[in-house]
């Protein structure tokens, strides 16, 4: 378990999944998704993979895209990983549930303990789960229900798992993220602020909070790829995305900021937390 908060962001591997053409059409993804520039989306995705591998030095595993799974690249919804345990989720959208298969396989191969959701009443999108290093918050959103949250609690018993009501269409991770072991980053929207307040009530641990102009900017990844002494990274939206939030992000000290753009993928509902899964194959070392 390590020192509190220390477990946050520890990673050796990153898992991503290629962007299928079906994402661009917007059809396969289901109603409501706008068409998007496939090439741009794929380019963004490629850049993301590159940064994970080269800038952060992670072992990158890329699952091949599947046309039948337009939202496959958003694999952050398919698993919740902490330590050596991966909870395979049961996404709210039935169409997305097959996405978990490839991910499960990959994670299994990486040696993680796989936990499945057997309960047919549970829905859980992985991006409704925020792990702070000390505890979990599960957004009770359009996507995730109480039962789903309960399973998170059942799976990660060492940690407090608190539920946070999330209003609107967002996932919890679309509203807030961790900017450091003791820092919660959140957007400025009402929904985001409300979520943060709820979390503040529920937690036993003091966190600082940083408010960003854009909710999407709060969807960042605090990553600690390994080597001691090397400052951790914060993978965040940037590179032309969300210019208003860049300045505020500079306030985060002790992290190396790694900006990454995914404005096109965002149109499909993607964020950094959904575009990759990070894990450590040796979580306790």
Partner 1 sequence: MTTEVGSASEVKKDSSQLGTDATKEKPKEVAENQQNQSSDPEEEKGSQPPPAAESQSSLRRQKREKETSESRGISRFIPPWLKKQKSYTLVVAKDGGDKKEPTQAVVEEQVLDKEEPLPEEQRQAKGDAEEMAQKKQEIKVEVKEEKPSVSKEEKPSVSKVEMQPTELVSKEREEKVKETQEDKLEGGAAKRETKEVQTNELKAEKASQKVTKKTKTVQCKVTLLDGTEYSCDLEKHAKGQVLFDKVCEHLNLLEKDYFGLLFQESPEQKNWLDPAKEIKRQLRNLPWLFTFNVKFYPPDPSQLTEDITRYFLCLQLRQDIASGRLPCSFVTHALLGSYTLQAELGDYDPEEHGSIDLSEFQFAPTQTKELEEKVAELHKTHRGLSPAQADSQFLENAKRLSMYGVDLHHAKDSEGVDIKLGVCANGLLIYKDRLRINRFAWPKILKISYKRSNFYIKVRPAELEQFESTIGFKLPNHRAAKRLWKVCVEHHTFYRLVSPEQPPKAKFLTLGSKFRYSGRTQAQTRQASTLIDRPAPHFERTSSKRVSRSLDGAPIGVMDQSLMKDFPGAAGEISAYGPGLVSIAVVQDGDGRREVRSPTKAPHLQLIEGKKNSLRVEGDNIYVRHSNLMLEELDKAQEDILKHQASISELKRNFMESTPEPRPNEWEKRRITPLSLQTQGRKGDHLFKDILSVKEKYLMPTTRTVEEKAQETDKSSHETLNIVEEKKRAEVGKDERVITEEMNGKEISPGSGPGEIRKVEPVTQKDSTSLSSESSSSSSESEEEDVGEYRPHHRVTEGTIREEQEYEEEVEEEPRPAAKVVEREEAVPEASPVTQAGASVITVETVIQENVGAQKIPGEKSVHEGALKQDMGEEAEEEPQKVNGEVSHVDIDVLPQIICCSEPPVVKTEMVTISDASQRTEISTKEVPIVQTETKTITYESPQIDGGAGGDSGTLLTAQTITSESVSTTTTTHITKTVKGGISETRIEKRIVITGDGDIDHDQALAQAIREAREQHPDMSVTRVVVHKETELAEEGED
To partner 1, the closest distance from the beta carbon of 2 in angstroms equals 9
What does the alpha-carbon distance between residue 83 and residue 1 come to, in Å, rounded to a whole number? 8
171 an active-site residue? yes
Nearer to partner 1, 22 or 123 (CB): 123
For partner 1, the closer CB: 172 or 217: 172
Alpha-carbon span 81 to 88, nearest angstrom: 9
Cβ neighbourhood burial of 201 (10 Å; 0-12, 13-18, 19+): exposed
Catalytic residue among 13, 45, 171, 236: 171
Count of residues in the chain: 285
Please report the sign of the dihedral spanned by the C-alpha atoms of residue 195, residue 201, residue 204, residue 207.
positive
Q: How deeply is 43 buried, as exposed, middle or buried, from its count of CB atoms within 10 A (0-12, 13-18, 19+)?
A: middle
CB-nearer residue toward partner 1: 207 or 233: 207
6 binds partner 1 (CB under 8 A): no
**How many CA atoms within 13 Å lie on the side-chain side of 45?**
31
Q: How near is the Cβ of 120 to partner 1 at its closest, in Å?
A: 17
Q: 176, 220, 262, 276: which is the annotated catalytic residue?
A: 276
Q: Which is nearer to partner 1, 5 or 238 (CB)?
A: 5
- 170 binding partner 1? (CB under 8 A): no
Residue 196 engages partner 1 in binding (rule: CB under 8 A): yes
CB atoms within 10 A of CB 153: 15
Q: In this chain, which of 4, 30, 46, 98 binds partner 1, going by CB under 8 A?
A: 4
Q: Please, which of residues 138-167 interact with partner 1 by CB under 8 A?
A: 138, 140, 146, 149-150, 153-163, 165-167
Nearer to partner 1, 207 or 222 (CB): 207
Query: Shortest approach of partner 1 to residue 199 CB, angstroms?
Result: 9
Among 201, 227, 250, 253, binds partner 1 (CB under 8 A): 201
Per the CB < 8 A criterion, the answer to whether 105 and 133 are in contact is no
11 is catalytic: no
Binders of partner 1 among residues 57 to 116 (CB under 8 A) are 83-85, 113
Secondary structure (3-state) at 149:
helix
C-alpha dihedral sign at 145, 148, 154, 158: negative
Helix (H, G, I), strand (E, B) or coil at 187: strand
Classified as helix, coil or strand, 265 is: helix
Contacting residues toward partner 1, per CB under 8 A: 1, 4, 83-85, 113, 134-135, 138, 140, 146, 149-150, 153-163, 165-167, 184, 194, 196-198, 200-204, 206-209, 284
């Amino acid at each position: 378990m390590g020192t509190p908060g220390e477990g946050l962001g520890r990673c050796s591997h990153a898992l991503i999944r290629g962007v299928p053409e079906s994402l661009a059409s917007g059809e396969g993804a289901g109603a409501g998704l706008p068409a998007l520039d496939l090439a741009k989306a794929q380019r963004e995705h490629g850049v993301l993979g590159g940064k994970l591998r080269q800038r952060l030095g992670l072992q990158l595993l890329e699952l091949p895209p599947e046309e039948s799974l337009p939202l496959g690249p958003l694999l952050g919804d398919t698993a919740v990983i902490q330590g050596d345990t991966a909870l395979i989720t049961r996404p709210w959208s039935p169409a997305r549930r097959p996405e978990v298969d490839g991910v499960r396989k990959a994670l299994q191969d990486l040696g993680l303990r796989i936990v499945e959701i057997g309960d047919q009443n549970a829905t859980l999108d992985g991006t409704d789960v925020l792990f702070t290093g000390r505890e979990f918050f599960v957004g009770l959103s359009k996507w995730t229900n109480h039962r789903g949250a309960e399973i998170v609690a059942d799976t990660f018993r060492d940690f407090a798992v608190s539920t946070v009501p999330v209003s609107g269409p967002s996932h919890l991770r679309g509203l807030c993220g961790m900017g450091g072991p003791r820092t919660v980053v959140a957007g400025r929207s009402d929904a985001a602020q409300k979520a943060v307040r709820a979390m503040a009530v529920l937690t036993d641990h003091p966190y600082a909070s940083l408010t960003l102009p854009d909710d999407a900017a709060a969807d960042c990844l605090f990553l600690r790829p390994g080597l001691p002494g090397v400052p951790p990274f914060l993978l965040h939206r940037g590179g032309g995305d969300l210019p208003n939030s860049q300045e505020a992000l500079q306030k985060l000290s002790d992290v190396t900021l790694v900006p990454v753009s995914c404005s096109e993928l965002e149109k499909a509902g993607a964020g950094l937390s959904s575009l990759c899964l990070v894990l450590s194959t040796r979580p306790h070392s």
